[in-house]
């Protein structure tokens, strides 16, 4: 992972922690697909993709999470849940967090 990606993931993680989430795993690789953050708050588990963008060119960081990436994240979530039977009754959510130099924007239920 590059420095920008690591910085963005730390900022995204802090964003969640300050809102009462607990980090379960970072850079997890269930099903051989990387999930940036796996978090929990109450009975909800969140699989989070973090995207960073330092400049204003080429659109929003969220636009970088296309259909193929969404498919892979769903597959990874299935593998993670299969290996964590305690989570069988939890609600599952997929978030995308866009980190820029000035802000952290969380898109809950992004897909």
Model confidence pLDDT, tens digit, residues 36-53: 999 999 999 999 999 987
pTM summary value: 0.90
- The phi and psi torsions of 38 (rounded to 5 degrees) equal -120, 120
Q: Is the pLDDT of residue 110 over 70?
A: yes
CB 53 within 8 A of CB 100: yes
CATH class for the domain made up of 3-107:
alpha beta
Model confidence pLDDT, tens digit, residues 54-104: 766 666 666 778 899 999 999 999 999 999 999 989 999 999 999 988 889
Where are the chain's structural domains? 3-107
């Amino acid at each position: 992972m590059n420095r920008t990606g690591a910085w963005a993931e730390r900022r995204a993680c802090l964003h969640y922690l300050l809102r009462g989430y607990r980090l379960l795993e970072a850079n997890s690789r269930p099903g051989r697909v990387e999930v940036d953050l796996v978090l929990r708050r109450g009975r909800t588990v969140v699989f989070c993709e973090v995207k960073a963008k330092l400049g204003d060119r080429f659109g929003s960081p969220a636009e970088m999470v296309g259909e193929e990436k969404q498919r892979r994240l769903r597959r990874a979530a299935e593998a993670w849940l299969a290996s964590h039977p305690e989570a069988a009754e939890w609600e599952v959510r997929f978030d995308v967090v866009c980190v820029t130099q000035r802000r952290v924007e969380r898109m809950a239920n992004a897909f």
